[in-house]
Amino acid sequence: MSGERGVLTPRLLTHNRGVNTPRSPSRFGINMRILFIGDIVGQPGVTFLKRAVPALVASEGIDLVIANGENASGGLGMTPGAYRQIREAGVDLVTLGDHIYKKQDIISVLEKDERVCKPANFPPLAPGKEFALATARDGTTVAAFCLIGRTFMRPVDCPFQAADRVLRELEGKASCIIVDMHAEATADKYLMAHHLKGRVSAVLGTHTHVPTADEQIMAPGTAFISDVGMTGPYDSILGRRVDRVLYTTVTFIPSAFDVATGDLRLGGAIVDVDAATGRATAIRRVMLDEAGLEALRGTVQVPVGENL
C-alpha cells in the first residue's frame, strides 16, 4: 500500500522477496510449501481470507493451508458456518485458541471433524481433538496441533507435557508437524520452540494479532516466528473498532467492542518443508493487503470457483 502508512507496497510482502519465490533447496529435492494464517477476525477477516487464499495458493505453489479460526465469528469464537466458509476458501486445517467455546454450537464440529483441533493442553473432558491431519497437494500427510501459553492466560495444563504426548500419538502418522503456539508472552513461544526444535517442522505464534520480525530456522530444522499477525481489519485495536476501545479505556464505561472493517490484510507465514524428513528449510512472513491482493490476482490464474 503506497498510501499514508507507508507500511505496505501494492504487492504481497514476503520478507521483501515478492511473489513467486523459488522453493528453498531440499536434501532430497522434494520440498512442500505450507501457508500458515494468523487469527482470522470476524466476518471481514473471513471475507478477505476467501479472496486471498486462492490467489496465494496459485502464486506461491502452496501445498497445504493452515489457519487459526478462533476469532472468526464476531471476533470471539467460531460458528459452524464460519468454519465451513474457512474450509471452502481453501484452508485444509484449522487451529483454535482460548476463545474456542465462545460459540458453543461449534462443539459438534469439534467432536466429529478431523480437520479442526482444540488446544492440546486443555483438559481431557474439553470437547475436540488434540490434533488435525490432512494430506497435502503433494501427497504428504501433515499434522497440526495448537497449545495455549500459561503467562497472562487462563489456567491450562502444561503445554510442554501436552506437546510431548501429542508427538507420541503422531508417531508413524506424519513427519511434517506444524504447531500453533497460541500465547501472550513471547518467552512462552520461544521456550516451546526450543523444547520442540528438531521434533516438529514449525512452531508458529498466534494470539497477539501483532506480527513480529523474528522468523528463523532453529537447527536442525524447525521454523519459528513469535507471531504471524492477524487476518482482518488492521485499522483497529487488534481487530476491534478504535472508537469503542478508546472510549472504554478512557472513561471506564463499557461498550461493545465490535469488529472493525478498515484496512483488511492477511497475516501469516510461508514455510518450506523437506517432505522426506519433516525439517523446515525456509520461512517467510506474509502480509497481504487489498492493493497487494489485486496486484497478485493480476499475475496468476485463479481456478474457476475460487475467484470469490
67: cell is 489457519
CA distances from 105 to 101, 102, 120 (A): 8, 9, 20
Cβ-based neighbours of 66, under 8 Å, separated by 6 or more = 34, 35, 36, 37, 91, 92, 93, 94, 95, 142, 144, 178, 180
CA distances from 159 to 155, 223, 302 (A): 11, 19, 39
Strands 280-289 and 264-274: antiparallel
Find the catalytic residue in 99, 182, 207, 209. Answer: 99
CA distances from 236 to 99, 211, 259, 263 (A): 19, 14, 8, 9
Percent composition of the chain: helix, strand, coil (DSSP 3-state, to 5): 25, 25, 50
DSSP string, 86-120: HHHTT--EEE--TTTTSSGGGHHHHHH-TTB--BT
Q: Which residues of 143-154 are buried (b: 16+ CB within 10 A; e: fewer)?
A: bbbbbbbbeebe
99 included as an active-site residue: yes
The residues annotated as belonging to the active site are 99
